[in-house]
A and B are shown apart, each in its own frame.
Chain A
Amino acid sequence: MYPTEIDYHRASSIAEAIELLSQNDDAKLLAGGHSLIPAMKLRLAQPGLLIDISHLEELKSIFVSGDKISIGALATHAQIAASADVQSYAPALASAAGIVGDQQVRNWGTIGGNLAHADPASDPPTVVLAYDGVIHIQGQSGSRSVNAQDFFVDLFATALEPGEIITRIELSNSSSAKSAYVKLSHPASRYAVVGVCAVLEMNGSTCTSARVAVGGATMKAVRSPGAESVLTGSSLDDSALNAAAAAVKSDIEEFLIGDMSYPEDYRQAMAGVYLKRAVHAALGS
């Protein structure tokens, strides 16, 4: 409840934020503050300097350019859930954003902060990964972009280098695909015990391409190549879904995490169950 003493600086630009970040080893960016501030109150995080970026307008916008949708790192979950563009280009992201925590959390928490924090129980990483999103990053030495596949490294660990800031998240237009994110919420925190996102390209009743990502059950959001290959080319019938569920369970085996209430084997089994639910939800069946 009572953080250690901190310095606070309200950054006037991205460039200034990056500069301060690279000059101060114990500095942290402050976006929505809904992961960082609770950790500071418990003194689990003790940054010396907070660089507040939460007001930087250029990082808040969501726009469509060509066949891509670009989401500013400071877009809040509530903003993403309500965005007509996200709803049409990446519907599973809109619906996932709409079930993050509770309304207060969604009004403050940002997608950039969420991806940077890389909490294994978060929702957006799983969805961004399933949509083959690209994370745009800026640092002292310029800009770069990292595929979601390479961005999530481990528990609370990403490809971000010291001094770097996420500026935007870019997703391809998936409006022709059927997609859905479903989750088993922790009854206390509402974080994901298991979250599964399926993005399916369909030709009639045949699935021509499938992307499947799992979070919550795993130390980081991971794709399931096994499930993807089982589903691709299938008509998503029960036997394909059962095989895909089995494949998901074996693909995530090495990444599993668990706790007293939800041990690893339970989460693993649920990844299979929720994969089927994600496919049904995507198809509206």
Chain B
Amino acid sequence: MATAVVGSRIKRREDPRLITGEAKYLEDIKLPGLAYAAILRSPYAHANIKSINIDKAKALPGVLGVFTGKDFADVNPLPCAWQAGGVQNNANTPRILEIDKVTFTGAGVAVVVAEDRYTAEDALELIEVDWEPLPVVVDAYKATQPGAPQLHENAPNNVCMEWTVGDQSAVDQALHSADIVVKQHILNQRLIPTPMEPRGCIAQYLAATGEYTIWMTSQAPHVMRLLITAFVFGIPETKVRVISPQIGGGFGAKIFLYPEYCLMPALSKKLGRPVRWMETRSENYISTTHGRDHITDIEVGAKRDGTITSLKVNTYANLGGVLSTIAPGIPTTLYGRMLSGAYKIPNIFCRVFGVYTNTGMVDAYRGAGRPEATYVVERAVDLVARELNMDPVEVRRKNFIQPEDFPYDPIILRGLKYDSGDYDKALDRALEMLDYANFRKEQAEARQQGRYLGVGFSTYIEICGVAPSAWIGLPGEGWGAALWESANVRVHLTGKVVVTTGSQTHGQGHETSVSQVVAGELGIAVEDVTVQHSDTLGTPFGYGTYGSRSTAVGTVAVYNSLQKIKEKAKALGAHMLEAAVEDVVFQDGKVHVKGAPDRAKTIQEIAGAAALAYSLPQGMEPFLDDTTYYDPPNCTYPFGTHICVVEVDPSTGSIEIKRYIAVDDVGNVINPMIVEGQVHGGIAQGVAQALWEAAVYDENGQLITGSLMDYALPRADFFPPFELDRTETPTPVNPLGVKGAGETGTIAATPAVVNAVVDALSPLGIKHLDMPLGADKIWRVIQEHTNGV
């Protein structure tokens, strides 16, 4: 099929404009008459709004308007689009400005629009709110206990949903008859996604046509348009155009519909001016979604030989004060159903309580549910190994799903089956890179010297290409919608190709990888391909970019259109060559007569003929143009082995990452450099959860880690060079054989690091530590365990 362009490390076509500063981000957009909005946010985590006095703010020169929630009482609350099982009549979602009550610090309650942002900020200080503070709860478990403050009348004990998967009694029996059972309380702390560019929105309403143009920092512009029009304002979709300009990263936090994305259009309509709001980092930290935040108890049962027989998981998932767009789907479908990991675990049961607390909204953050599941599974395997005094590598091998088991049905995936894999192969390669036998020797010597050297493994799998109607479409489980993806491929008269796609790129390099696929299929230069996206006006409806789906779903849509275009080109080429279709082939950008490669027409010649269209075969429409809407039959399941080597400094508790090895299998690879870039960033984020990052609320619901001076994002110099390799097991799910590579690093890395630190400290009898493994925590643990003996 494809020529060598697919699979080659061509440089990213996006980079010149990003590096030279020519790319236009939201803040670069200047419109005549642009007005600036600033939002008054609740300083309380839980409070009633008794009254708001805006008189002084309104009187400030330069202020164009001041509004409160009451001014938008007729606007619907934002929708919760993924009401996973159990969420019934208690989906409480944000309003574009809250009216009577707030349930987290940072909820918007009033807005000022002014001639400039400085004046708008000054006016915010003049708004007087009469607050009635209420008792606060920030911990998801405590929120469900008797006597806890109640956030919403429709959610007794603050439980938004109780969701289960698996057969509880079978699991209880299996645990009962297991040789060993290990129990562990496991915390997966809250994280803040922190894209380089915070969120923003500009809206322009034109009264003459009744149409809105909304620029927003969104990973899913078509979905935003749908939600804004159909759910929030109740106006036709055709009245709104959504544009995502250049987006400075998202990590999931820009998937969702936020109040400001509806507030700006409403303000533009009221004031007759285009209005812009751009988040500050402080606002971003309190009012954009967070990720993770699970409190979990596990019981894992095994035979004495290391065979895992059962896993029981109980999780309190913190969803925040109100629900973000797909919040309930993350700790259920994308978490509970992934708890088999890379292993044959015959009995799994998981119960998840989705809980309202007085904290910021929690939703998908890079990996979304799968990092939490992988953390549970990979910690559980290590706990079993420890209990049985076995090598954690051996326990993994013992329980791996084998190549001949695919397609493998882990039962809890609601009918979907793991597509393909060779888990031992990736593990073998990683162990070879580590030189495992030698490492254990070194470790033994280090221990003799009182040094704390450790190694941790994560033989993860994950689920990508979140889309299939067969899964995500099931009401009560998914969105009640298939997340198919779309593509239009058009070969212009000169043979230059324009692809429009419903997916959205915000750092992943889709423009490059899609171009490579097109160039490979049509035999043209990469430079002759233009990829357009992110504007609802020019692109077919698509569900956007998240869940590592843009290649496994979006690019497959492009590929399918290319096949149809090649068929048509063949027919036209045969006509031009005066040959029968059966007698020609499409190869290397040409249609030629079989066995006579000189009798050929190039794709450019054929495209020209198709466009000029004065001599087409009977019944053929002009132009090479095709649109695909692709609903894949299954998800894809990347896997691999990550290994982390650490040394703990017992005098300070500091952890040094000495080596980081990753062997990932993401199926076929279109551009290895782009995949490696994704893996690098993902590892950095995953390691950061293990060691540094934590969003912490105090008991009053104030975010203590509210700035980049406190919230420790990873930096390049925190890491050794990553040692990467790949195995390539194509997926049979799609014709490209691609699985998805956007999240593997984040999903795999966290348990590898924690397992390594626990291994390093195992001579002290330490079996588990909760993240982040900050120096103070580790130092204290070492003090306790060494002074005690």
Contacts and interface: CB of A to CB of B under 8 A. Distances in A.
A1 to B, nearest CB: 4
Contact of B709 (A1, A184, A189): A189
Contact of A260 (B121, B652, B696): B696
Given A2-B118, A260-B704, A273-B652, A187 B779 contact: no
B280 interface: yes
Contacts of A262: 775-776
A184 B775 contact: yes
B117 interface: yes
B652 A270 contact: yes
A158 B28 CA distance: 43
A269 B650 CA distance: 12
B121 A2 contact: yes
B346 interface: no
B712 interface: yes
A42 interface: yes
A261 B282 contact: no
B774 interface: yes
Interface string B257-288: 00000000000000000000000111000000
Nearest to A276: B651
A171 to B, nearest CB: 29
A266 B776 contact: yes
B122 A4 contact: yes
A188 B117 contact: no
B408 interface: no
Given A184-B652, A273-B652, A266 B711 contact: no
B711 A5 contact: no
Contacts of B712: 186-188
Contacts of A189: 708-710
B713 to A, nearest CB: 7
A5 B776 contact: no
A42 B704 contact: no
B406 interface: no
A186 B712 CA distance: 8
A263 interface: yes
Contacts of A273: 651-652
B651 A42 contact: no
A188 B708 CA distance: 6
A119 to B, nearest CB: 11
Contacts of B696: 260
Given A188-B711, A261-B774, A269 B779 contact: yes
Interface string B634-662: 00000000000000000110100000000
Most chain A CB within a 10 A radius of its CB, from B281, B654, B775: B775
B784 to A, nearest CB: 13
A188 B652 contact: no
Contact of A188 (B121, B281, B710, B776): B710
Contacts of A42: 282
Give the interface residue-count category, chain A: 20 to 34
B440 interface: no
A187 B118 contact: no
B651 A1 contact: no
Nearest to A102: B715
A41 B651 CA distance: 39
Interface string B693-719: 000100000001000111111000010
Contacts of A2: 38, 117-118, 121, 280
Given A1-B282, A187-B692, A187-B712, 17 more contacts: A1-B281, A2-B38, A2-B117, A4-B118, A5-B118, A184-B775, A186-B712, A187-B718, A188-B711, A191-B709, A260-B704, A261-B710, A261-B774, A263-B776, A266-B779, A266-B780, A273-B652
Most chain B CB within a 10 A radius of its CB, from A1, A43, A262: A1
A270 B281 CA distance: 32
A186 B117 CA distance: 33
Nearest to A3: B118
Nearest to B708: A188
B366 to A, nearest CB: 19
Contacts of B704: 260
26 contacts: A1-B280, A1-B281, A2-B38, A2-B117, A2-B118, A2-B280, A4-B122, A5-B118, A42-B282, A184-B654, A187-B712, A188-B708, A188-B710, A188-B711, A188-B712, A189-B708, A189-B709, A260-B696, A260-B704, A261-B710, A261-B774, A262-B775, A262-B776, A266-B776, A266-B780, A273-B651
B352 to A, nearest CB: 28
A249 to B, nearest CB: 13
Contacts of A5: 118, 122
Contacts of A43: 121
A266 B781 CA distance: 12
Interface in B480-507: none
A285 B404 CA distance: 58
Contacts of B652: 184, 270, 273
A42 B285 CA distance: 14
Interface in A179-201: 184, 186-189, 191
Interface string A60-99: 0000000000000000000000000000000000000000
Given A2-B121, A266-B779, A188 B713 contact: yes
A246 to B, nearest CB: 14
B622 to A, nearest CB: 54
B369 to A, nearest CB: 27
B701 to A, nearest CB: 15
Most chain B CB within a 10 A radius of its CB, from A43, A186, A260, A273: A260
Most chain A CB within a 10 A radius of its CB, from B121, B710, B776: B776
